[in-house]
Amino acid sequence: MIADRIVCVDCGGQCHRITYWPEDDPPVPGDSVAYRCSDCGDRWDMVLDQEDFDD
């Protein structure tokens, strides 16, 4: 499952996911997902791999 929140590497705050996909076109490994930190405003982009989809 793709995380809705991650920890910001820079400040330790909460980064919230800002990338979403339509129901008829779900993400696949190799897609990227973006997060924005609510504390420092940094943006983090991550490439999804198969482990992100394993429950």
Share of the chain above pLDDT 90, in %: 85
Please report which confidence band the pLDDT of residue 5 belongs to, taking 50, 70 and 90 as the band edges: very high
Question: What does the buried/exposed string (b/e) look like for 15-51 if buried means 16 or more CB atoms within 10 Å of the residue's CB?
Answer: bebeeeeeeeeeeeeeeebebbbeeeeeebebebeee
Q: Return the domain boundaries, the chain.
A: 5-52
Q: Is the pTM of this model over 0.75?
A: yes
For the stretch 30-41, pLDDT in tens is: 999 999 999 999
